[in-house]
């Protein structure tokens, strides 16, 4: 751990939690390694009520509901100060039993297995449970009725209709009887190219939409004595891998990334992958500081805050992570990755975004429908906005932060998300599924960007590793629809 800061571990955990249940990944639960017992016993008494327009999930208005929240980077005030009071206002006769812990698996697994579980659980953190195994054991409730229920506070829409594209799919698994949703992945990370808006405004620089505009901008920035583009080669190479994967998806659609996830022979030789690698390799050769190969993410990010670096590829946590280094002359903003070719199949406004932080209702609680109702409260526009204000993180509730000035970077990210519309794709999963591929990609992208590596070498290296993984019988394989 000496080589990786806690903040970077948190960032990696966020990405992996988001990707582990990625869009349409839906791994068959029979393929997932179990970390929990079967837990076949049901609680003796399940609270139920009568369904109505005012009570679409049919909860017992007087039954207590127990929730457990992970006490981590997002804090717990959104639960104690927002969600619980909203639930109590709606159902004043129901007691909300609340607790928070950093040790989710240690605390919750024994209760799941003994059918004494909380009704709603935030499965997160270093001690998070294998959620696929929970689904396999029948310990997570089917949320189909939740998503079909009316929104808590948006008239005329179901819960499903209020969410960003792909939000439900991210918590969907293949089980006996078909694909069903079992999780709400609540927080939402937007990825793009981050920059100092005040620096850009001062110099008359504008966010580019095409690759020609991008390189022209880099020329202007370089002429001004500023490093145009940078990332940290020591511990944040995966930021650059994501940049290449994002560009490849914009060139050839997200199917290009799905083929990589499915270890399809020749997938890494796809024209879209090579074109993206060529384009970014040119940026590395002409516009990066080669000494950054040995720097860490916080060192490069600090240089950006000092206007020594202009453009940095990252996720929407960046502004909060750098809060202590932001001066009055620095204002975070974010732009989409520009189109690489004139024939890109996704528009320049398309972006990569991913939901994270698993929340689920347990079948082993005594008030399953109450747990779902608590999730319906969380998925209200009002609760989502307050979550964003408290945590500086967007949510999967579409437009909840529209028109709100939360912070410059987050507001910019939300605007970028709104402009993307339905052209939001969730990315790739091979980096979390296959460690060997992930490790190889970090070295390969550094060679491409810092050491004059060429695109074909990048593709050849990754194709070789991918097929080694595909042919290794000892590695459990996943598939993506």
- From the list 267, 253, 250, the residue with the least C-alpha distance to 430 is 267
Cα separation, 55 vs 72, whole angstroms: 32
Cα separation, 292 vs 233, whole angstroms: 6
pLDDT tens by residue, 193-227: 999 999 999 999 999 999 999 999 999 999 999 99
The pLDDT value recorded for residue 125 is 84
* CA torsion, ordered 234, 235, 237, 243, to nearest 10 deg: -130
pLDDT tens by residue, 24-56: 344 444 433 334 444 446 665 788 899 999 999
Beta-strand relationship, 96-101 and 65-70 = parallel
Instruction: Using the predicted structure, report yes or no on whether residue 13 has a pLDDT greater than 70.
Output: no
% of the chain at pLDDT higher than 70: 91
The pLDDT value recorded for residue 157 is 98
**What is the pTM (predicted TM-score) of this model?**
0.79
**Region class of 218: left (phi > 0), else alpha (psi between -120 and 50), else beta:** alpha
pLDDT tens by residue, 258-289: 999 999 999 999 999 999 999 999 999 999 99
Higher pLDDT pick, 170 / 67: 67
pLDDT tens by residue, 355-371: 888 999 999 999 999 99
């Amino acid at each position: 751990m000496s080589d990786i800061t806690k903040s970077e571990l948190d960032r990696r955990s966020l990405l992996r939690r988001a990707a582990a249940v990625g869009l349409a990944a839906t791994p068959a639960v029979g393929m997932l390694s179990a970390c929990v017992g079967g837990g076949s016993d049901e609680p003796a008494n399940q609270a139920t009520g009568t369904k109505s327009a005012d009570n679409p999930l049919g909860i017992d208005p007087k039954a207590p509901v127990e929730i457990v929240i992970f006490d981590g980077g997002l804090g717990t005030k959104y639960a104690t100060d927002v969600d619980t009071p909203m639930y109590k206002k709606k159902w004043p006769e129901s007691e909300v039993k609340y607790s928070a812990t950093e040790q989710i698996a240690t605390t919750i697994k024994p209760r799941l297995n003994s059918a004494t579980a909380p009704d709603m659980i935030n499965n997160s953190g270093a001690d998070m449970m294998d959620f696929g195994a929970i689904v396999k054991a029948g310990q997570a409730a089917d949320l189909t009725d939740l998503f079909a229920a009316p929104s808590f506070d948006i008239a005329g829409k179901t819960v499903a209709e209020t969410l960003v594209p792909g939000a439900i799919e991210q918590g969907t698994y293949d089980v006996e009887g078909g694909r069903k949703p079992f999780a709400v992945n609540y927080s939402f990370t937007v990825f793009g190219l981050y920059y100092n808006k005040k620096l850009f405004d001062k110099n008359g620089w504008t966010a580019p939409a095409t690759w020609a505009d991008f390189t022209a901008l880099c020329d202007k920035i370089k002429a001004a004595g500023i490093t145009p583009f940078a990332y940290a080669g020591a511990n944040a190479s995966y930021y650059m891998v994501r940049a290449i994967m994002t560009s490849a998806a914009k060139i050839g659609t997200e199917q290009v990334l799905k083929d990589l996830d499915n270890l399809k022979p020749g997938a890494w030789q796809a024209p879209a992958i090579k074109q993206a690698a060529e384009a970014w390799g040119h940026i590395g050769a002409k516009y990066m500081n080669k000494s950054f190969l040995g720097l860490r993410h916080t060192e490069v990010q600090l240089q950006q805050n000092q206007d020594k670096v202009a453009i940095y590829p990252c996720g929407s946590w960046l502004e909060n992570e750098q809060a202590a280094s932001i001066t009055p002359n620095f204002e975070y903003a974010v732009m989409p990755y520009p189109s690489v070719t004139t024939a890109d199949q996704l528009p320049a406004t398309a972006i990569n975004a991913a939901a994270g932080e698993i929340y689920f209702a347990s079948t082993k609680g005594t008030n399953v429908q109450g747990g779902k109702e608590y999730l319906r409260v969380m998925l209200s526009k009002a609760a989502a906005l307050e979550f964003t204000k408290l945590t500086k993180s967007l949510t999967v509730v579409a437009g909840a932060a529209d028109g709100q000035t939360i912070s410059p970077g987050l507001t910019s990210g939300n605007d970028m998300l709104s402009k993307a519309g339905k052209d939001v794709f969730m990315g790739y999963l091979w980096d979390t599924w296959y460690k060997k591929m992930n490790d190889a990609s970090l070295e390969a992208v550094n060679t491409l960007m810092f050491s004059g590596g060429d695109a074909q070498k990048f593709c050849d290296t990754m194709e070789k590793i991918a097929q080694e993984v595909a042919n290794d019988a000892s590695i459990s394989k996943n598939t993506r629809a």
